[in-house]
């Protein structure tokens, strides 16, 4: 069916009017956004049904979708444009030169997909706006929705079919012989709802499709009837389905068994999208000197952060106030690889020259002790179990030492240093049992906290540890490994293939969220700390920062501190994880 022939719809081939966004109308969790063809505007409805105008002056607004950062995207059909509205109300052109853009959807990585009604293609846009053709050969696509496995489903109103397109672009026909399929949406259980709009009368239907474990259709049943052109479908965070009844000029709300009630009337809805709670938010970007951009540690008790240098002389420690983000540079030579003693709130930093480790008071930054090691220390890590600080050195001998220092007496523990058997890399201690994990010339090894015996691990480089669940998180090439750290030896790794090698990792023990810095995709990937399942992806493209440095997590405040590089130098990103217990796999807009 040609949309230009539909009643009520007037396609105006004119210059797009400037959209006017009232400054006081901003996105709020649970609000429903509706593209209204009758007024060329986007309307906003609170959960109680109170209506306001979010933006006006559009040119046939159709598909809507929110991304994880709270940005709203709108398919402006007659102007062949996709507009983007940030959470603070700033409007910009995200993409132009399209052919009747109709429906929008966003995948777990933050890529935007557009149903190009006029060309029969589905276009893919990266968060930065780079365009590619994802699928071809459709007639007139009208609806898009992702399932939990990342497959894209597209309704084709002229071919009377729904297509399934895998993440790598392989297209197949899910079901054919339909009657003008329109809006699509998945619920949290993986069921697909599909609106059919032919013939144009008051007896159109929403069908519910369930699936077998192999992805084939298990059942397709009429779920709701007596509709009039169900163009748009959306499900809110509570699992309630809403339908934009374009022909009936209403928005219906449905119970779990399909019984409908009128939520709002008087609009010509062509797109629906719910604004859910923004998952991630950048609080600040803090500029770092080149002498303090190699490591980061957080003092949760004092709400302070320590950025410090790397494996060379003259490196700094920069203390960052977690409330104001003001910085205090302790000066050249103040140290590398800083870490926090969480029992006393002191922090320790290694000094390559003259070769030792410096202990600071966490409240005043006063130097409490300087411990000479007569080596070339580059990094520190704190062991809560034994209340000791491990110090790794790198002097180029090929058997770099690691020291254990009593955090109370500042004395080197008898039996150390331990020769690593190679060139020292990362070191990290498991505060649950005191074991130290290090890499030496690329080989992952463990130091026993009692005997100081050095053994080679049956897994890769340990980059983060959840001391509550005793989970180790390691990388082996581009694989993520999740390991039970309790047994001796440790458990067999659960391996998850990634498309990149993480620059760093961090764990929130409160949320059980594992964070992976992805410099290739320019994003922060969030995974379940127990299973490794992907929860969300937070794109950093709009901040101009590549996340290629160290990471630390404040589990109390839900913050991720991540070092990255920008056009102006190194920065520390302060990112809030605002995620609550919600099912991020549910499709919240069509």
Record: fold of 287-577: Methylamine Dehydrogenase; Chain H (2.130.10)
How much is the pLDDT for 272? 97
Asked whether the beta carbons of 361 and 349 are under 8 A apart, the reply is no
DSSP 542: G
Answer whether 260's CB lies under 8 Å from 253's CB.
yes
- Vertex 551, ends 545 and 555: CA angle to 5°? 120
490 closest CA partner among 501, 481, 477, 479: 481
Average pLDDT, integer, range 476-503: 96
pLDDT tops 60 at residue 246: yes
Can you spell out the DSSP letters for 5-35? GSTT-----SPPPPPB--TT----TT-EEEE
Q: Using one digit for the tens of pLDDT, what is the confidence trace for 532-542?
A: 988 888 888 77
pLDDT above 90 covers a percentage of the chain that reads: 79
pLDDT tens track for 275-285: 865 678 888 99
Q: What's residue 570's pLDDT?
A: 97
**27: pLDDT strictly greater than 80:** no
pLDDT surpassing 70 at residue 6: no
Q: How would residue 9 be classed by pLDDT, with cut points 50, 70 and 90?
A: very low
Segment 535-566, tens digit of pLDDT:
888 888 778 899 999 999 999 999 999 999 99
pLDDT(12) > 80? no
Q: What's the pLDDT score for residue 25?
A: 34
H/E element, 487: none
Q: Where are the beta strands (DSSP E) in 121-236?
A: 121-125, 131-135, 141-146, 152-156, 161-165, 171-175, 181-186, 192-196, 204-211, 217-227, 230-235
Superfamily name with CATH number, domain 3-18+32-274: TolB, C-terminal domain (2.120.10.30)
Question: Is pLDDT larger for residue 421 or for residue 16?
Answer: 421
The pLDDT tens digits of the residues spanning 60-112 come to 999 999 987 788 999 999 999 999 998 767 899 999 999 999 999 998 778 99
The pairing of strands 112-116 and 101-106 is: antiparallel
Please provide the average confidence, as pLDDT, over all residues in the chain: 90
pLDDT over 70 at 251, yes or no: yes
Q: What is the pLDDT of residues 151-197, one digit of tens each?
A: 999 999 999 999 999 999 999 999 999 999 999 999 888 899 999 99
Of 24 and 56, the one with more pLDDT: 56
Chain centroid offset of residue 137 CA: 32
Q: Containing H/E element for 180?
A: none
Q: Dihedral angle at the C-alpha atoms of 302, 304, 305, 309, nearest 10 degrees?
A: -90
Beta pairing class for 91-95 and 559-566? unpaired
DSSP assignment string, 40-97: TEEEEE-TT--EEEEEB--SSEEEEEE-TTS-EEEEETTTTEEEEE-TT--EEEEE-S
Nearest to 38, CA basis, from 246, 230, 262, 220:
246
The burial of 211, by beta-carbon neighbours within 10 Å (0-12 exposed, 13-18 middle, 19 or more buried), is given as: middle
CA atoms of 427 and 464, how far apart (whole Å): 10
Q: Are 115 and 131 in contact (CB under 8 A)?
A: no
Q: What is the pLDDT at residue 232?
A: 97
Q: What does the angle CA 429 – CA 434 – CA 435 come to, to the nearest 5 degrees?
A: 65
292 in helix, strand or coil? helix
Q: H-type helices in 139-273, by residue range?
A: none
Statement: residue 199 has pLDDT above 60: yes
pLDDT at 88: 67
Residue 441 pLDDT level (bands cut at 50, 70, 90): very high
Q: Which two tokens stand for residue 417?
A: 């240093």
The beta strand positions in 275-310, using DSSP E, are: 280-287, 295-299, 304-308
Q: What is the chain's Cα-based Rg?
A: 28
Q: Quick one: pLDDT band at residue 588, thresholds 50, 70, 90?
A: very low
C-beta of residue 267 within 8 angstroms of C-beta of residue 278: no
Domain coordinates in residue numbering, the chain: 3-18+32-274, 287-577
CB distance 295 to 309 below 8 Å: yes
- Residue 475 contacts residue 501 (beta carbons within 8 Å): yes
The two tokens of residue 231 are 């163009």
Nearest to 559 by CA among 313, 316, 371, 298: 298
pLDDT at 3 over 70: no
The end-to-end CA distance of the chain, in Å, is 19
For residue 317, is pLDDT > 80?
yes
Task: Give the pLDDT of residue 584.
Answer: 29
């Amino acid at each position: 069916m040609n949309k230009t022939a539909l009643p009520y719809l007037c396609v105006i081939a004119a210059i797009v009017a400037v959209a006017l966004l009232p400054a006081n109308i901003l996105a709020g969790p649970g609000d429903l956004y509706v593209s209204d063809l009758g007024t060329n505007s986007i309307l906003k409805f609170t959960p109680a049904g109170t209506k306001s105008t979010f933006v006006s002056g559009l040119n046939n607004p159709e598909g809507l979708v929110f991304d994880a950062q709270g940005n709203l995207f709108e398919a402006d059909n007659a102007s062949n444009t996709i507009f983007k509205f940030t959470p603070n109300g700033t409007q910009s052109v995200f993409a132009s030169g399209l052919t009747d853009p109709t429906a929008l959807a966003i995948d777990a990585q933050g890529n935007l997909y557009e149903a190009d009604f006029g060309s029969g293609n589905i276009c893919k846009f990266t968060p930065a706006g780079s365009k590619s053709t994802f699928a071809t050969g459709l007639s007139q696509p009208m609806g898009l929705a992702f399932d939990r496995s990342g497959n894209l489903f597209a309704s084709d109103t002229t071919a009377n079919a729904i297509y399934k397109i895998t993440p790598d672009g392989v297209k197949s026909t899910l079901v054919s012989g339909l009657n003008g399929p329109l809006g699509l949406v998945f619920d949290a259980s993986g069921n697909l709802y599909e609106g059919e709009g032919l013939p144009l009368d008051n007896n159109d239907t929403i069908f519910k499709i369930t699936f077998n474990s192999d992805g084939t259709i298990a059942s397709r049943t009429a779920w709701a009837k007596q509709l009039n052109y169900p163009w748009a479908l959306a499900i809110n965070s509570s699992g309630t389905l809403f339908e934009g009844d374009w022909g009936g000029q209403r928005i219906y709300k449905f119970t779990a068994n399909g019984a409908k009630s009128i939520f709002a009337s008087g609009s010509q809805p062509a797109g629906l999208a719910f604004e859910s709670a923004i998952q991630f938010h950048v609080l600040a970007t803090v500029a770092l000197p080149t002498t303090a951009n190699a490591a980061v540690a957080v003092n949760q008790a004092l709400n302070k952060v320590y950025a410090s240098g790397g494996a060379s002389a003259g490196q700094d420690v920069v203390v960052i106030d977690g409330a104001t983000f003001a910085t205090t540079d302790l000066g050249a030579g103040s140290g590398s690889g800083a870490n926090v003693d969480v029992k006393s709130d002191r922090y320790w930093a290694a000094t390559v020259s003259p070769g030792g480790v410096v202990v600071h008071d966490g409240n005043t930054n006063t130097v409490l002790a300087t411990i000479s090691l007569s080596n070339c220390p580059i990094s520190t890590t704190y062991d809560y179990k034994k209340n000791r600080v491990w110090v790794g050195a790198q002097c180029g001998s090929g058997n770099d030492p690691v020291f254990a220092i009593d955090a109370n007496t500042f004395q080197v523990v008898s039996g150390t240093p331990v020769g690593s058997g190679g060139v020292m890399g990362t070191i990290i201690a498991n505060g649950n049992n005191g074991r130290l994990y290090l890499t030496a010339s690329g080989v992952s090894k463990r130091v026993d906290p009692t005997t100081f015996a050095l053994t080679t691990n049956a897994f890769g480089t340990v980059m983060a540890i959840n001391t509550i669940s005793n989970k180790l998180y390691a990388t082996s090439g581009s694989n993520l490994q999740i390991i039970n750290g309790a047994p001796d030896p440790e458990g067999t790794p659960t391996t998850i293939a990634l498309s990149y090698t993480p620059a760093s990792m961090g764990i929130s023990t409160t949320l059980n969220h594992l964070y992976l810095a992805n410099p290739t995709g320019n994003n922060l990937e969030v995974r379940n700390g127990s299973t490794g399942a992907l929860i969300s992806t937070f794109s950093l493209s709009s901040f101009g920062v590549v996340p290629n440095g160290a990471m630390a997590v404040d589990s109390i405040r839900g913050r991720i501190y991540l070092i990255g590089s920008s056009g102006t130098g190194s920065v520390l990103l302060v990112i809030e994880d605002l995620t609550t217990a919600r099912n991020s796999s549910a499709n919240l807009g069509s």
